[in-house]
Amino acid sequence: MSNGKEPDYEVIVIGAGVAGIYQIKRLVDLGIEATVLEAGSDLGGTWYWNRYPGCRFDSESYTYGYSFSKELLEQWHWKERYSSQPENLRYLNFVTDLFDLRRHMQFDCKVEAAHFDESRDIWRLRASDGRVMTCRFLVGALGLLSAATLPRYEGMGRFRGRSFHTYHWPQEGIDLKGKKVAIIGTGATAIQIIPEIAPEAAELTIFQRRPNWAAPLNNRTISEEEMGEIRARYDEIFATCARTPGGFEHEPDRRGFWEVSREERLALWDRLYAEPGFGIWLANFREIFTDEDANAELSEYIAERIRQRVKDPAVAEKLIPKDHGFGVQRVPLETHYYEAYNRDNVHLVDIGETPIERVTETGLRTSERDHEFDVIIYATGFDALSGAFDRIDIRGVGGEALREKWRDSVSTYLGMMVHGFPNFFMPSGPQSGSASTNYPRGIEIGVNWCTALLEYLWEHGYPRAEPTREAEERWTAHVKKMYSTMLMRKAKSWFTGYNSNVEGHEQGKIRYLVYNGGTPKFVKTITAVAENGYEGLQLGLPPTEPDEALPEAGAA
Ligand SMILES: Cc1cc2nc3c(=O)[nH]c(=O)nc-3n(C[C@H](O)[C@H](O)[C@H](O)COP(=O)(O)OP(=O)(O)OC[C@H]3O[C@@H](n4cnc5c(N)ncnc54)[C@H](O)[C@@H]3O)c2cc1C
């Protein structure tokens, strides 16, 4: 609600997830008049919305938590190595209350439009309930996996049972005991849910279009004593995260893939497969990301593991991806996922072979037959990275719409700013250092950079900052170039912007959404930009366009 003066706030932050919470903390510490607008009824972002059974970190909990406050690090006890959604939400609430940030947040406030008023250098926002607010600087902490996408089946509205996307899992919970349940999709979310609900449901039918590779999470609890050891090591832990490409504790094996014997490779993989977390992906040989033959050998190793764990060989084969190699997409981590398929009440339907034709009043119709269900769960993922931005009518200089600018492919400066959209910041935007890493590590880096830039603007009295067209083109070309050596460029995944449920994001149109240079390189680049007086940014008012050439005196 407008408080009678303009702008209402110096800074408005959209989104109260990991990024928005840290951003408001930094602004409050600086004494800036700022607020957070959040579509949900409470804070937490990812960990507020996704309440499905089995939802948890695949980052080590103690590398995921914020690193900025010793007080917080001292006080919080992570109970599990890979903490679950309820605990993660408790953590974010704990942080918010510890620093008394809740009073700077407004909930049930979905921003529908944000327009830049060039005459006054302010952003004017409109929320879905009609509220209008203005600010000088706008921070989009919208989340990269926060725009849930449903498939486009006919008849979806006519199903008489319950159906929902996993992002909108009923907050009050849902009892699946004795129910006939369908789950559509076998991505990271489904891989977490399936083993949790398989023992509960009477029948669980999984509709799979294309399998994903997955590897064991190997989770366990963290005792008081272990937590004490972790606390004592926090400096070292975060220093390691800062040094590794992915912002994790897992460091790549620096030996050459082809320089060691096959026995040595197998020994490494046996060890990593039994170890917790992303080791099998990130502590592996670096060639698995770039060398087809190295990747094929590792993929066959993982395939063999799947064959050992799934009793029915035909089902096992269906669960082994044939269209991409292991690790060229973010690898889902699982707990007894493959064993779920050994249960009599679990059925796998390959919708590559027998496509879903429509949703009926009682279930799903494939090209083969009708299936009856009480509950349909859509585990169909997200319009990743740019989707939440596209869902707001963001307009910059000259009324240019961001979603139009990004229609074919995203372009940014450092993944944090966009030419034509002055005073608009994305601490963990597409093409920033966050998307391919341990997010909170990237988020802290992004928030710190954006906050330092804001301080610089305030200190020097600059009313606005905007990247130049050239700087944006250079960064976008750099991001694109890095895809050329990576096997992931060929995968149908959110790294390449593929999502058949979003118009224009079909296969064959790569969207360069992810910075693949790794954390240390990203930090080096953005630090140098700041040290050089924010090179690439137009600070202050834009140069006035030269007057149109006047006809020479005397010209007819
Ligand atoms: C199931 C799941 C598991 C994950 N596990 C991990 C993990 O183990 N490790 C890891 O590094 N990352 C993980 N991620 C990625 C995760 O999204 C990030 O770790 C992190 O939570 C992102 O924080 P964020 O603040 O950037 O975005 P989010 O947490 O997505 O928060 C964004 C917020 O913005 C709000 N918002 C968006 N649009 C609007 C609007 N128009 N108006 C108002 N509010 C709006 C949303 O409601 C949301 O609350 C996981 C993601 C999912 C979905």
Which residue CA neighbors atom 7 of ligand 1 most closely? 57
- Please report the atom of ligand 1 found closest to the CA of residue 21: 25
C-alpha of residue 3 to centroid of ligand 1, in Å: 30
Report which ligand 1 atom has the smallest distance to the Cα of 82: 8
pLDDT for 508 equals: 62
Question: What distance in angstroms lies between residue 110's CA and the mean position of ligand 1's atoms?
Answer: 15
Asked whether 146 lines ligand 1 (CB < 6 A), one says: yes
Please provide the size of the chain in residues: 556
Q: How far is the CA of 167 from the centre of ligand 1 (A)?
A: 10
Closest CA to 35 of 130, 148, 123: 123
Secondary structure of 202-242 in the HEC alphabet? CEEEEEECCCCCCEECCCCECCHHHHHHHHHHHHHHHHHHH
Q: Is the CB of 61 under 6 A from ligand 1?
A: no
Query: For residue 447, what pLDDT is reported?
Result: 98
| Residue located nearest, by CA, to atom 5 of ligand 1 | 57
- Using DSSP, how many helices (H) and how many strands (E) does the chain show? 17, 20
φ/ψ (deg, to 5) at 336: 60, 30
CA of 388 to the centre of ligand 1 (A): 10
| Residue 357 CA, ligand 1 centroid: distance in Å | 32
Judge if the beta carbon of residue 287 lies within 6 A of ligand 1: no
Distance in angstroms (rounded) separating the CA atoms of residues 353 and 367: 9
Nearest CA-CA partner of 19 in 532, 512, 513, 434: 434
pLDDT given for residue 545 in this prediction:
53
What is the separation, in whole angstroms, between the first and last Cα of the chain? 58
- Which of 146, 378, 437, 519, when mutated, tests ligand 1's pocket best, judged by the most ligand atoms within 8 Å of its CB? 146
How many CB atoms are located within 10 Å of the residue 5 CB?
7
Say if residues 206 and 364 touch (Cβ distance below 8 Å): no
Q: Rounded to whole angstroms, how far apart are CA atoms 164 and 157?
A: 11
**CA 142 to centroid of ligand 1, rounded, Å:** 7
Per-residue pLDDT of the chain (556 residues; tens, 9 = 90+): 445 688 999 999 999 999 999 999 999 999 999 999 999 999 999 999 999 999 999 999 999 999 999 999 999 999 999 999 999 999 999 999 999 999 999 999 999 999 999 999 999 999 999 999 999 999 999 999 999 999 999 999 999 999 999 999 999 999 999 999 999 999 999 999 999 999 999 999 999 999 999 999 999 999 999 999 999 999 999 999 999 988 999 999 999 999 999 999 999 999 999 999 999 999 999 999 999 999 999 999 999 999 999 999 999 999 999 999 999 888 999 999 999 999 999 999 999 999 999 999 999 999 999 999 999 999 999 998 899 999 999 999 999 999 999 998 899 999 999 999 999 999 999 999 887 789 999 999 999 999 999 999 999 999 999 999 999 999 999 999 988 877 777 777 777 777 778 777 766 677 888 898 889 999 999 999 999 999 999 998 766 555 444 443 333 2
For the Cβ of 432 lying below 6 angstroms from any atom of ligand 1, the answer is no
pTM score, whole prediction = 0.94
Distance CA 449, CA 355 (A): 47
Point out the ligand 1 atom lying closest to the alpha carbon of residue 166.
Answer: 1
Whether the CB of 13 sits within 6 Å of ligand 1: no
Checking phi first, is residue 516 left (phi over 0); if not, alpha (psi -120 to 50) or beta? alpha
Residue with tokens 């809740």: 102
Question: How many A from CA of 399 to the centre of ligand 1?
Answer: 28
Q: Which atom of ligand 1 is nearest to the CA of 434?
A: 11
The whole-number pLDDT of residue 13 equals 98
In the reported structure, the alpha carbon of residue 17 is separated from the centroid of ligand 1 by a whole-number distance in angstroms of 6
d(CA 179, CA 201): 5
Q: Which atom of ligand 1 is nearest to the CA of 48?
A: 49
Instruction: Please name the residue ranges forming H helices in 366-487.
Output: 387-390, 402-405, 439-460, 469-483
pLDDT at 552: 39
